[in-house]
Structure 1
Amino acid sequence: MRILIATAGSRGDVAPLTGLGARLSAAGHQVAVATHVTFADSVRAAGLEFRPLPVDPRAELTSPQGRDIHGSGSGPRALLRLTRLARAFIPALGAGIADAAEPGTDLLLTTSTTADLGQCVAEAGGIPNVVLLLQPHTPTREFVPAIIGARSFGGPGNLLAGHAVQAVVDRLFAPAVRDLRRRLGLPRATVARARRDRTVLHGYSPRVVPRPADWHPSHQVTGYWWPVADPGWQPPPRLLDFLAAGPPPVCIGFGSLVVPDPERLTATLLAAVRAARVRAVVQSGWSGLSTPDGLDDVLTIGDAPHEWLFPRAAATVHHAGAGTTAATLRAGVPTVPVPAQLDAPFWSDRVTRLGTSPGPVPLPRLTPVRLATAIRQALDSPWHRTHARTLATALVAEDGPAKVLAAIDRLAG
């Protein structure tokens, strides 16, 4: 089967799908990934064909509008600011997906940012569209949509919040969907109508977020889809030397989060590391965090695969994105989430409930004392270490891609 995966967003949105794509390829399918040019090397390193989609996500997030999202946290305000940012490039994204879906494509796999546009392309091509989600978005009584935080409004309130978020997303995509359907010669249809009856697969563990009982049977939780390891990556000598020079460090990174004052954040992190009496590896990320060279207790690095780095850590401190949270759980180390926006509070709440974290230190309230205290709690408590290791062992036994393969086989049959 010739499969196209169309995904847009940050590295955390793309990396798990390259791993899933590699697994589909190993099962005999021809797999191409349509995403941003900045991730082309990652796609090709997974042995998959790359097809470009427009937009540079890093440039968008570092723009004035993108930085504005940082200050909005989670909840409706953050969602509205995100929709304003996305509105400008959604039409180009739809055209890019249509161009990437070359004749002969048998199946389209899309994500939260590409599903509604991809549905049009799939309908025009007469092929199935399976939606792959890394966060729960489907309305449910059991919790609010991940994108607006973790606070429960009770069963009816949670369900209402889910439908409200879906309505905002539908309204955001409606003009681009209308134009794309016209371009593809399709009859007019609402976003909600086009979305009916499609399979939705969630790429996280049911141990982390159990499947809600009120979801439609077509919405399933498969287990994680782990990023594929880049066979060409080698740890830099200075990182190996730092790791060998002392006890396991705390790994600190904020991924694709773009903070307005990286120098101030770096100073806070350094002070917290010293107050907690730990060593640290700081990943620069999209914010460009940078500590002085030559420090004995802190090393700043660029990209490093989480599956390699995190198991060598004593604990992690991170922005609580879905991908980084998953990597920490897989590594079996305690964690201190520092949520700032969108779904980060949701994942922070999950790791706290699971016992792998002493609790979040939200970025707007981050101070050296608060972070140092949380780091010491994560390191000193046998409770957090035991729960982290136990959960990691259970996650290794899961096989999320196998369930995706089974769903594809059902569609092919």
Structure 2
Amino acid sequence: MTAGSRGDVAPFTGLGQRLQQAGHRVALAAHDRFAGLVRDSGLEHRSLPGDPVELVRARTAAPSPDAAREVFAAFLDELGDGVLAATEAGTDLVLTAFGPAPLSRFAAERSGIPSAAVYLAPGVPTREFPPPGLPSDGPDDNLAAGRAVLARTGALYAGVLRRLGASEAAANPPEDWPVFHGFSPAVVPRPADWPAAVRVTGYWWPADPPVWQPPEPLVDFLAAGPPPVFVGFGSMLPDHDRLHDIVAATVRRAGVRAVVQAGWAGLGPAGDDILLVGDLPHGWLFPRTAAVVHHAGAGTTAAGLRAGVPAIPVPVLVDQPFWADRLHHVGVAPRPVPMHELTAETLTDAVRSCLDRTAYRERAAELARQIGAEDGAAAVLSFIERLEG
């Protein structure tokens, strides 16, 4: 069960494939926008209502903060019915991403079946770091902030859970609830104060597309010169006109070639050394690049680490500043450049710093080898087999 952008769905296609190969039947509940992605992975798609693109646009266009909250509340209300319907369509175990977790856990309890969390970013309070998206003010404050985030998350879902007949406690996970984090301990070591039921497994990689051939213009562009820099901001919707100018100027000033992914922002900078592309497998493209400039979403961050290429993180919101800081901390990226600080000058400096210091690429290659030796799906599979007993 997952809700959100493509990056909130793709890793579960690979996890689902692995579970299915072990003999389990797997359905992935996600928005209809991603039905093809799910089915192309050989998994059953169960529909969740709502369109994340339209949600972001509606919240952005809302005339006031109260109006934006009303848009999101309506989305969650509709999502609650969808999560129940997806669960009741024939399910023995619910694995849920962080976003819909309170709804998924309640739906599983109502159906009398077990559930567990499969999180792509840290979702359990700890003294060792603050929850993604918040600054660190010391161990005690980190823990308090993590608990506050869980409380706020529960409050967001309180109305829809109450309407569905849940108790007030339904929004809060019990301490012994199994939680699996699908990232590498080489990137985020497991905090010592997490409960025993909380694990860090290693990454879950998106399923490979069944048949995919790179478009001929991309093949020709890659062959025509040195490895390009990738630029893409995924599901973010920043000012695309401003970004056009910044990216085009950076390519000229830094003296690089670039493959630019349009994404939800509809990027389209022009230039002889720029190739525009749509959605394509990062697992294919990233190893062929010199570096990746991205918004530091969990999925794109993982794909860059797997490819063994350095990064220039440009975080925007939610967990992106956390992943951007981790990339810098583990030595594969210069200091992040938050989107609100992005200019042609700051991006050019970051690109040149990333490319001119060989330590970034060497560290990225080393970390890719560590990550490649991990088996993130194994822990989830073992859990399921223990349930079958």
Task: Please give the range of the TM-score, normalised by the shorter of the 2 chains.
Answer: over 0.9
Question: What SS class does the counterpart of residue 381 from structure 2 fall into?
Answer: helix
- Residue 51 of structure 2, aligned match among 53, 56, 59: 56
**Corresponding residue for residue 272 of structure 1:** 250
Per the alignment, do residues 81 and 219 of structure 1 end up closer, same or farther by CA in structure 2, a change over 3 Å counting? farther
- Residue 352 of structure 2, aligned match among 376, 380, 398: 376
**Corresponding residue for residue 37 of structure 2:** 42
Does residue 66 in structure 1 map to residue 42 in structure 2? no
Alpha-carbon distance in structure 1 between the residues aligned to 2:89 and 2:251: 54
Q: 5+ unaligned residues in a row in structure 1: which ranges? A: 1-5, 69-76
| CA drift at 1:194 | 5.5
Query: Does structure 1 retain, via aligned residues, the 8 Å contact 2:27–2:46?
Result: yes
Alpha-carbon distance in structure 2 between the residues aligned to 1:120 and 1:224: 26
Per the normalisation by structure 1, the TM-score is 0.90
Letter in 2 for 1:190: A
**Corresponding residue for residue 263 of structure 1:** 241
Per the alignment, do residues 82 and 402 of structure 1 end up closer, same or farther by CA in structure 2, a change over 3 Å counting? farther
Question: What SS class does the counterpart of residue 45 from structure 2 fall into?
Answer: strand
Does residue 169 in structure 1 map to residue 150 in structure 2? no
Does residue 130 in structure 1 map to residue 116 in structure 2? yes
Alpha-carbon distance in structure 2 between the residues aligned to 1:109 and 1:31: 10
Alpha-carbon distance in structure 2 between the residues aligned to 1:204 and 1:397: 13
**Corresponding residue for residue 155 of structure 1:** 139
- Residue 241 of structure 1, aligned match among 220, 239, 244: 220
| CA drift at 1:207 | 0.7
| CA drift at 1:67 | 6.1
Q: Quote the sequence identity (%).
A: 52
CA RMSD of aligned residues (A): 1.8
Per the alignment, do residues 167 and 84 of structure 1 end up closer, same or farther by CA in structure 2, a change over 3 Å counting? farther
Does residue 22 in structure 1 map to residue 17 in structure 2? yes
Alpha-carbon distance in structure 2 between the residues aligned to 1:250 and 1:161: 37
| CA drift at 1:196 | 4.6
Alpha-carbon distance in structure 2 between the residues aligned to 1:56 and 1:195: 30
Letter in 1 for 2:42: G
**Corresponding residue for residue 296 of structure 1:** 272
Does residue 217 in structure 1 map to residue 196 in structure 2? yes
**Corresponding residue for residue 396 of structure 1:** 372
| CA drift at 1:102 | 3.5
1:347-381 deviations in Å (ceiling 9; x for gaps): 11100011000111111111111111111111111
Alpha-carbon distance in structure 2 between the residues aligned to 1:268 and 1:291: 9
Per the normalisation by structure 2, the TM-score is 0.96
**Corresponding residue for residue 105 of structure 1:** 91
Does residue 321 in structure 1 map to residue 307 in structure 2? no
Alpha-carbon distance in structure 2 between the residues aligned to 1:345 and 1:81: 26
Query: Does structure 2 retain, via aligned residues, the 8 Å contact 1:174–1:190?
Result: no
Query: Does structure 1 retain, via aligned residues, the 8 Å contact 2:12–2:204?
Result: yes
Letter in 2 for 1:111: A
| CA drift at 1:195 | 4.0
Alpha-carbon distance in structure 2 between the residues aligned to 1:282 and 1:235: 15
Letter in 1 for 2:60: G
Letter in 2 for 1:310: F
Alpha-carbon distance in structure 1 between the residues aligned to 2:178 and 2:68: 26
Question: What SS class does the counterpart of residue 18 from structure 1 fall into?
Answer: helix
Alpha-carbon distance in structure 2 between the residues aligned to 1:205 and 1:81: 39
Letter in 2 for 1:205: S
Per the alignment, do residues 81 and 265 of structure 1 end up closer, same or farther by CA in structure 2, a change over 3 Å counting? farther
Per the alignment, do residues 103 and 370 of structure 1 end up closer, same or farther by CA in structure 2, a change over 3 Å counting? closer
Per the alignment, do residues 347 and 194 of structure 1 end up closer, same or farther by CA in structure 2, a change over 3 Å counting? closer
| CA drift at 1:403 | 1.1
Q: How many residues align?
A: 388
Letter in 1 for 2:231: I
**Corresponding residue for residue 76 of structure 2:** 90
| CA drift at 1:296 | 2.5
Per the alignment, do residues 195 and 176 of structure 1 end up closer, same or farther by CA in structure 2, a change over 3 Å counting? farther
